[in-house]
Structure 1
């Protein structure tokens, strides 16, 4: 996955903000230590269909939100695709005074789809992003093996690796790799969410024939 690293308030930052402001749908993810109101945000990843941006929040600081990120994340006209918005939203609101708006949560969408497929029974557990990518996009296990094996420890015992500067290119690739797939996952889930609606419309069409 090709990405653009942004760690200075120069031309790349302004260009990224402009491009994101003109997008109707973007994917969003945060990485750091214990992402929440109590943790430390190190990286903010945002992606359009064409470009993945990695914002180095540890370096840019709070001003990154003042200079454009907050405006994008709070914009009701821009749909943000995320997987599990709970702690992500908690972090943005309490640490950066940013109220995330217009969100499509792929984890919640997956739960609703599975409920419909199970005849109304709610699933007993939530799926992680790799599980959703495998189930709905048909990605082979090898496509996210590094995510499952390497990234989970990063988010737990070894999360401090996100604070290291300069960051290793492999870590940046890890941060960027699933951002475009998150957008594709939304499209597939939307189609599946529409199935019950489409069935009921079909019944209505047949009612008086």
Structure 2
């Protein structure tokens, strides 16, 4: 046992209460640990903090239940930005890939309903990408001037989910139709790329939903 053990216990409890991007969470926990250690040193008048000084620093910092919502707000916004960035970057690239595949397979007998379905699904994906881009702006430069809407992270989460659905439908439809049209090698490549992208967006959207449902401190 060391004098600083209560700080490590506090940081561990705070870590268990928070959810969000690992890198941002690690930075916040490091800042909390450093703040507690500095406070304990100050209480000990610059000397090596003893158990009393550490316990007082922890008590003055506030309980995990009181502190976690403020930390969680920042993590939730960071996760929303992470999800929005994935949607805004990945989905337009996939849409372009689907479009090229449809053009290539058009002369190979790609069924017309598949082309129509692809166009509709591509529209959903494009709308999701635009919403994601707007969310990035709202949580980035605009956040310095305007408060971030409380429900924005949840909206980003469901935008990511909608993009996932569009990606999954396109993956199954296009790869199957393209393979039947005799373009198996390209269709497999596009299918693998689309499925990998679906997994990445789905995981981020799921984390975003989890963060959005946790209590946070209102901004400003």
Structure 2 length as normaliser, TM-score? Answer: 0.32
Question: Which structure: greater strand fraction?
Answer: 1
Structure with the larger helix share: 2
TM-score by length of 1: 0.33
